[in-house]
Structure 1
Amino acid sequence: MESVLVKEYRAGIMECAHYGHICIVNDQGEITAAAGDPDFVTFTRSAAKPLQAISAIRGGIVSHYGLSEKEIAIMTASHLAQPDHVEVLESIMQKTGLSEMELICAPSFPLNEESKEDVLRHNGSKRRLYHNCSGKHLGVLAYCKMKGYLLEGYAEPEHPVQQEIIETMSMMCGIEPQQIRLGTDGCGFPVFALPLSAMAAAYAKLACPDLIADKPTREAVKTITQAMNRYPEMVGGSGRVDSLILQDPNIVAKGGFKGVYCFGLKKERLGIAFKVLDGSEEEWGWIVESILVQIGYSNRPLIEQMKESFTHDIYNDAGKQVGYAETVFQLQSQ
């Protein structure tokens, strides 16, 4: 049974309620707390990006191409195509010799409004590089090129690099490959349907790489998460939950389209995953903040910063406060 996570009020009247599921696991993969169904199956969407980057980093693309930590971080990103994002993406193409036309993600305008307006002001057009998943695509293409794999069909599930990614997902989530159901993501990549408990287990390993038995995978995870924490603005961008909470070196986090969000806590050795069933992302900051408060998270300045950045007040188009939102779920020990 789903749980009500957030209620929104206008003029004191509840206007909408956002239902969903939350799962928290410990470093043994055991469910310790939940709201709703901790084993609810949903698609990982972009929350899988740090996991999808493991194969290429483990395979040696960092040293092979001389990649920087910013370039590693943007391979995990759902970026907004802000100027600093585009600069890093173009640097990857220069180092790897890849062409933008080799990306299968659709030409897009930047998701950041200011960047989009700047493109239009200068008579620019959509680019594949502006797609929020382009960093992930460039990382996988770079790995294919290094390994001598065909670049054509690099996003097909049968491609060797995608098979390696599926095997890595299986290891990180603690389930058999055949238990991972596949769909197609918005950018054309395979996307994984998994229980929230499996996603949370994977994020516990991202936060605590000592849980990973395979040394090359363990070292790749350290490289990826260190880059995400050092350059959080590369992972999302202005106003994104990921980029805010990744400033805390104790947190590894990544959201995905249609309301899925995952994060891991290093010192607490916890993995956390949740899904907003109506697919909304506006509630992420409120839900993350409430989870951190309920588990007694020690970084109070971060929680206060979240309250300020993701205010519970609701404003209309003219900036007048017209309502408020409140998180209403209570985590239940399992």
Structure 2
Amino acid sequence: MDTIIAEATRGDRVESRHAGSAVVVDAAGRVVFALGDAERPTYPRSAVKSFLALPLVESGAAARLGLGDEELALACASHTGEPAHVAAASRMLARAGRDAACLECGVHWPVDDGAARALAGTGRGPSALHNNCSGKHAGFICLACDQGQDSTGYIHPEHPIMREVTAALADVTGAPHGPDNRGIDGCSIPTYAIPLRALAHGFARFGSGVGLGAERARAAARLRAAVAAAPFMVGGTNRFDTVLMQALGPAVFSKMGAEGIMAAALPEQGLGIAVKCHDGAPRAAEVAMAALLIRFLGPENRDNMVLAGLTRHSMRNWNGMIVGEVRAAFA
């Protein structure tokens, strides 16, 4: 039977309910909390971008190319296509001697409405730099160029860069990543269905360094520090990950994925959290994640007003009237 993780109200009634699964795992792989089926294979989608960025850092490529906090945070990002994001992606490519023509992520309008309207007002259309995954893809190109490889076709499973970053995924999560569980993500790179428990375990290891080699653990710490220093780059205006990490800093490393995926690392507690809303609704995954963070963070963070606010989303109609809310469905 499906477990309800979030509900939407209208007036004094529950109007809709979202089923899903959630799991909290420590760095040793022990499940300390679970709702629903934690072993159900799930595509993590963009939640694992930080894992994909590990080879960029641990190889020394990021340092040799002079990539700073903003660029490394963008390599982990699902950004909104605002000017700062576009500029950082362009800088990454320039450091590798490349430009937007090398990106193979596809083109879409900025996710942020204001950025999209501003761009349209110039009479120009979007480029691949506006794609929410352009930072991740720029990171792949930087890694390829640093290794002296041709980046063309880097999105394909057999490309050396994609093999390298896929191996990092398998190492951090402890789950197999092969043809049998492979799909294609929205930005055209492979995505692999793994148990939700494995995703949470990967975040526990990414946050603590436990179970990772020394170089990989240092790379994970560098990426966490970059995102804590530049949380706007990993999301954007009013995005859950950005708002959360602006409020809590290095206490939480959070990353959303498409189709109702949320994952987070709690470095001080050595825990990883993963949430999947089965109908793909991000609103449900976000409030469920916020509720779990309140439960498992240390007492110095539990009373954070921003975090508390993320557990409930007011719903307004077109006249701005509050008509209901979306809230976590478990204590």
The alignment partner of 2:226 has SS state of helix
> Which position in structure 2 is the counterpart of 1:280?
281
Letter in 1 for 2:309: E
Paired with 2:295 and 2:224, the residues of 1 have a C-alpha distance of: 25
Offset of 1:292 from its aligned partner?
A: 2.3
Q: Measured at CA, do residues 133 and 213 of structure 1 come closer, stay the same or move farther in structure 2, by a change above 3 Å? A: closer
Offset of 1:166 from its aligned partner?
A: 1.7
> Which position in structure 2 is the counterpart of 1:317?
318
Offset of 1:296 from its aligned partner?
A: 5.9
Of 145-154 and 235-244, more deviation after overlay is shown by 145-154
Q: Where in structure 2 are the equivalents of 1:136-215 lying within 5 Å? A: 136-178=136-178, 181-209=181-209, 211-215=210-214
Letter in 2 for 1:272: I
Q: Measured at CA, do residues 251 and 103 of structure 1 come closer, stay the same or move farther in structure 2, by a change above 3 Å? A: same
Letter in 2 for 1:90: S
Contact kept? 1:128, 1:134, Cα under 8 Å:
yes
Of 61-70 and 45-54, more deviation after overlay is shown by 61-70
Contact kept? 1:81, 1:130, Cα under 8 Å:
yes
Q: Measured at CA, do residues 302 and 244 of structure 1 come closer, stay the same or move farther in structure 2, by a change above 3 Å? A: farther
Residues 285-315 of structure 1: CA deviation (Å, up to 9, x unaligned): 3212211233364244764213335643221
Letter in 2 for 1:23: V
Q: Is there any run of 5+ residues in structure 1 with no aligned partner, and where?
A: none
Paired with 2:34 and 2:302, the residues of 1 have a C-alpha distance of: 25
> Which position in structure 2 is the counterpart of 1:262?
263
Paired with 1:14 and 1:259, the residues of 2 have a C-alpha distance of: 20
Paired with 1:234 and 1:252, the residues of 2 have a C-alpha distance of: 13
The alignment partner of 2:33 has SS state of strand
The alignment partner of 1:246 has SS state of helix
> Which position in structure 1 is the counterpart of 2:224?
225
Letter in 1 for 2:252: I
Residues 147-188 of structure 1: CA deviation (Å, up to 9, x unaligned): 122211101001111111121111101234459721100000
> Which position in structure 2 is the counterpart of 1:96?
96
Residues 247-292 of structure 1: CA deviation (Å, up to 9, x unaligned): 3211111110100010011111111101011111122332122112
Paired with 2:269 and 2:179, the residues of 1 have a C-alpha distance of: 28
Of 170-179 and 124-133, more deviation after overlay is shown by 170-179
Of 17-26 and 63-72, more deviation after overlay is shown by 63-72
Q: Where in structure 2 are the equivalents of 1:102-121 lying within 5 Å? A: 102-121=102-121
- Give aligned-pair identity as a percent: 27
Paired with 2:64 and 2:260, the residues of 1 have a C-alpha distance of: 36
Q: Where in structure 2 are the equivalents of 1:239-250 lying within 5 Å? A: 239-247=238-246, 248=248, 249-250=250-251
Paired with 2:180 and 2:291, the residues of 1 have a C-alpha distance of: 30
Q: Is there any run of 5+ residues in structure 2 with no aligned partner, and where?
A: none
Residues 183-236 of structure 1: CA deviation (Å, up to 9, x unaligned): 100000111211011000110011101x13422211211111110111111100
> Which position in structure 2 is the counterpart of 1:271?
272
> Which position in structure 2 is the counterpart of 1:74?
74
The alignment partner of 1:37 has SS state of coil
Of 96-105 and 187-196, more deviation after overlay is shown by 96-105
User: Does 1:37 pair with 2:37?
Assistant: yes
Residues 80-112 of structure 1: CA deviation (Å, up to 9, x unaligned): 111211221221122111121111111221111
Contact kept? 1:3, 1:329, Cα under 8 Å:
no
Paired with 1:177 and 1:89, the residues of 2 have a C-alpha distance of: 28
The alignment partner of 2:282 has SS state of coil
TM-score, normalization by structure 1: 0.93
> Which position in structure 1 is the counterpart of 2:26?
26
Contact kept? 2:93, 2:141, Cα under 8 Å:
no
Letter in 2 for 1:280: A
Paired with 1:37 and 1:254, the residues of 2 have a C-alpha distance of: 21
Contact kept? 1:285, 1:306, Cα under 8 Å:
no
Paired with 1:69 and 1:302, the residues of 2 have a C-alpha distance of: 28
Say what the alpha-carbon RMSD is for the aligned residues.
Answer: 1.8
TM-score, normalization by structure 2: 0.94
Q: Measured at CA, do residues 180 and 228 of structure 1 come closer, stay the same or move farther in structure 2, by a change above 3 Å? A: farther
Paired with 2:297 and 2:142, the residues of 1 have a C-alpha distance of: 42
Paired with 1:19 and 1:129, the residues of 2 have a C-alpha distance of: 35
Q: Where in structure 2 are the equivalents of 1:114-133 lying within 5 Å? A: 114-133=114-133
Q: Measured at CA, do residues 6 and 70 of structure 1 come closer, stay the same or move farther in structure 2, by a change above 3 Å? A: same
